[in-house]
Amino acid sequence: MINRRKFIKQTAAGVTGLTLSTHSFANMLVQKKKERLGVALVGLGYYSTDLLAPALKLTKQCYLAGIVTGTPSKAERWKQIYKLEDKNIYDYRNFDSLANNTDIDVVYVVLPPSLHAEFSIRAAKAGKHVWCEKPMAITEAECKMMIDACVQNKVKLSIGYRMHHEPNTQKIIQFRKERTYGNVIKVEAAAGYFDSRTDHWKQNKKMGGGCTYDMGVYPLNAARYSTGLEPIAVSARASVTRPAIYTEVEETMAFDLEFPGGATALCETSLGKSMNDLTVTCSKGWYKLSPFQSYTGIDGVTSDGVKLNVSIPNEQALQMDDDALAIMNGTPMLVPGEEGLRDIRVVEAIYRSVAQKGRVKIG
């Protein structure tokens, strides 16, 4: 088998050569309605190992049915821990044979961003529903390819924005929709942490590294769901405090968004410092969450003292159960591919703004 770390370096160039033709097996399998959906995790790094796999033990609508890994020792360890059948354990070379496996209904892509489009498209061509971690992909063009592949192969696509499923986040979205505190005037959002690693894909440009892809989509997405609008312009500034480590990508990114009607958003993201705050200022008050994107402990308050601190057992389990129900019931995904695409469109504009050292229009 091929090692995952070696594999992602070899394939980081992208997916421009992929076609969107329907996989020959995709239409051959007629699956019976299931009580729970089988999920295969693609990539067994930290997020799969420490968060998604444990969460799948708590889900009611889906369960861990299989894995895709290039490391035999990982495969054996997961097989023992999760009692996986040999036929449900894949590597990156035999990935497409998932098309023959009726145990697996959903493929959850948890790889570096440069591989999201390739494996999402391959999963769709294999006739599997696709859950893809954020960021959706590297470019808007890749996002469109992913959406098209899922449409053509009649499978659903969801992006792993777990905060959309989280109750306190849903509450501030409700505030915006109902104009509880008036019209949104300004959003301030910041998400970051100090990453001490010195040799990781997050420092590799070809793999989709840099703080903007990794953490920047949190404040960006928050600015969009807080306003309910798409930004029309951005002014961005990138910086690095550890040049020996961040030789290819930015360590910190500040970006200011302009929205139709005059609303603005001041956003910052970083892999060099910790921050985790969202404040929404409206014409008749304000509300904030701090932290606004942690795995637990989302906490906030409004200008008139309303507490925003509803707790849930597990964010990832809620996200996956919601998405599984949407598949089983034939209802829209809460976070479809189009949502991820809109963020990547802005991310590309952010990098253009840095390169041009000025304000860039989006659209």
Residues taking part in catalysis = 134, 218
Contact between 338 and 345 under an 8 Å Cβ cutoff? The reply is: no
| The Cα angle at residue 268 between residues 263 and 271, in degrees rounded to 5 | 160
CA separation for the pair 94, 90 (Å, rounded): 6
Residue 27 and residue 104 in contact, taking contact as beta carbons nearer than 8 Å = no
The residues that bridge with 135 in the sheet, in sequence order, are none
What ranges make up the beta strands (E) of the chain? 37-42, 62-68, 89-90, 106-109, 129-132, 157-159, 184-194, 233-239, 252-258, 264-270, 272-282, 285-289, 300-302, 307-308, 360-361
**How many angstroms separate the CA atoms of 185 and 97, rounded?**
51
Alpha helix stretches (DSSP H) within the chain: 4-10, 46, 53-56, 72-82, 116-125, 140-152, 167-178, 211, 217-227, 315-329, 337-356
State phi, psi for 257 to the nearest 5 degrees.
-110, 145
From CA 72, how far away is CA 2, in angstroms rounded? Answer: 9
3-class SS of residue 237: strand
Whether 153 contacts 125, CB under 8 Å: yes
Separation of alpha carbons 24 and 10, rounded Å: 27
Cα–Cα distance between 203 and 242 in angstroms, integer? Answer: 11
Residue 41: closest CA among 88, 1, 94, 100: 88
* Residue 211, both tokens: 């703080």
For residue 336, give the DSSP letter.
Answer: B
